[in-house]
Amino acid sequence: MSKQETPAAATADEERPRGARRSTPVHGGRYASLAIAAPVLFVLLLGTVCVAVSVGSVGVGLGTVVKVIADHLTGVGTPAGVMDDQIVWNLRLPRVLLAAAVGAGLAVVGVTLQATVRNPLADPYVLGVSAGAGLMASIVITLGSVAVAGLSTSAAAFVGALVAMVAVLGLSRRAGRVIPSRLLLAGVTLSYLFSGATSFVIFRSGNADAAHSVLFWLLGSLSEASWSNLSLPAAAVLVVGVHLMLQARTLNALAAGDDAALSLGVAVHRVRIRLLVVASLLTGVLVAVSGGIGFVGLIVPHLVRLVVGPDHRRLLPLAMLVGAIYLVVVDLLCRVLVRPEELPIGIVTAVLGAPVFLWLLRRSEAS
């Protein structure tokens, strides 16, 4: 019994039905309310999307953006100009929506991994999934799709992510159970291995253009976004996001520790494996369409946790919204900072994320 826990409180806890006991020590009143924060962030996301679609090498008014989108969604109204329609609907909107989907997905995976392995430094790329996807993508780009049974770059990247996931889970098992500390070490080790293999593939390719394409892909890019490659990641983020929100109480229990989770009736080993597989699969889908975009799954969960607290019932949905807003803004910066060229997204996320992460470290030390 802790010093703060009174005998009466302990007795009350013992007398509760098993299913009614507290799932995790989460905080309440001093954090932002989900009912207030979620609508505000959703409106902010819609506004950010409209601004991002409006801004570019060719400016399009916000009114025109809203009109084009409304015309396509409702099928009524006078069509906008052909050029504006092409820019808004076929070029910019798919890219902005893909940025929102990838940002939301990486953020929710980061939240899940940090709770599942109980490590605040865990993020979607700590499992080596991104590095495995990068290796397969680099093989396709430099050697051609024939080298990997005719797979496209995105398909090969997803296969690489699956291989990395299976390898990491296999290496992290001991006595039939996945050990979180071994999981992180296996992920980091395989990341270095896959990254080294990727560098070797680039070095041996002898094709400067292909090497440049691989580097740009590895640093993250949404330049290939289209309606055709938006549907899968968007659907995956929606389905996995809803699934993880339904598992919020379980994540609260895991974050409190294995012993606490076991006392609450959680099958820790089976649940941890399932959550890791789901997180890895979603990461593979996102990396396949966006390349390596770091820091989103690391920084966003921490920032949201500062505002809404550690309860995953609030943390998961709000992290998805903040992650979507963050990556839409970052992608906009990548398009406009060095016009007419385009910066890889990974560069901007690193430049913005590193100072925030250092601030978080100092804050945690001070507290």
pLDDT for the residue 78 = 60
What torsion, rounded to 10 degrees, do the Cα atoms 305, 309, 311, 313 define? Answer: -70
Lowest mean pLDDT among 18-22, 59-63, 100-104, 337-341: 18-22
139-170: per-residue pLDDT in tens? 888 887 666 777 888 888 888 888 998 898 88
Task: Tell the CATH superfamily of the 34-366 domain.
Answer: ABC transporter involved in vitamin B12 uptake, BtuC (1.10.3470.10)
Stretch 82-105: mean pLDDT, rounded? 93
pLDDT for the residue 102 = 96
Reading the block at residue 350, the tokens are 């690193």
pLDDT for the residue 107 = 96
Neighbouring CB atoms inside 10 A of 71's CB total 17
How far, in Å, CA of 302 to CA of 309, rounded? 10
Stretch 17-41: mean pLDDT, rounded? 63
| C-alpha 16: how far from chain center | 37
Stretch 222-230: mean pLDDT, rounded? 91
Stretch 71-95: mean pLDDT, rounded? 84
Share of the chain above pLDDT 70, in %: 88
Stretch 213-230: mean pLDDT, rounded? 88
Asked if residue 237 has pLDDT above 80, the reply is yes
Domain extents for the chain? 34-366
pTM as predicted: 0.85
258-312: per-residue pLDDT in tens? 889 999 889 988 999 899 889 988 998 898 889 889 889 989 999 999 899 999 9
Secondary structure (DSSP) of 155-190? HHHHHHHHHHHHHHHHHTEETTEE-HHHHHHHHHHH
List of residues 6+ apart from 346 with CB closer than 8 A? 218, 219, 220, 291, 292, 293, 294
Mean of the per-residue pLDDT values of the chain = 85
How far, in Å, CA of 27 to CA of 45, rounded? 27
Calculate ∠ Cα 276-279-283, nearest 5°.
135
Reading the block at residue 220, the tokens are 């993250």
pLDDT for the residue 365 = 65
Q: How confident is the model at residue 17 (pLDDT cuts 50, 70, 90)?
A: very low
Asked if residue 15 has pLDDT above 50, the reply is no
pLDDT for the residue 20 = 41
